[in-house]
């Protein structure tokens, strides 16, 4: 999904549903690729660009 090219909303929805079905058939632990600090830092810079975000 991350690097997929979807030419329509329907194609994106189809791929998401297939990913969910695969995940449910073969669940495995989620591995974070960033630390909590990295996530919050990125989120903070994003929220600063949104008028009225209040964060």
Summarised one tens digit per residue, pLDDT across range 7-24 is 899 999 999 999 999 999
Structure tokens at 43: 């989120």
Share of the chain above pLDDT 90, in %: 45
**Whether 12 contacts 19, CB under 8 Å:** no
pLDDT at 27: 93
CA 27 to mean position of chain CA atoms = 17
**Whether 22 contacts 37, CB under 8 Å:** no
CA 46 to each of CA 18, 21, 34, 40: distance values in angstroms, whole numbers, following the listed order: 30, 31, 16, 10
pTM: 0.50
């Amino acid at each position: 999904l991350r690097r997929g090219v979807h030419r329509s909303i329907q194609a994106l929805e189809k791929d998401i549903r297939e990913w969910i079905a695969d995940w449910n058939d073969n669940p495995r632990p989620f591995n974070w690729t960033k630390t909590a600090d990295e996530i919050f830092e990125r989120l903070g810079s994003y929220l600063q660009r949104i008028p009225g975000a209040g964060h």
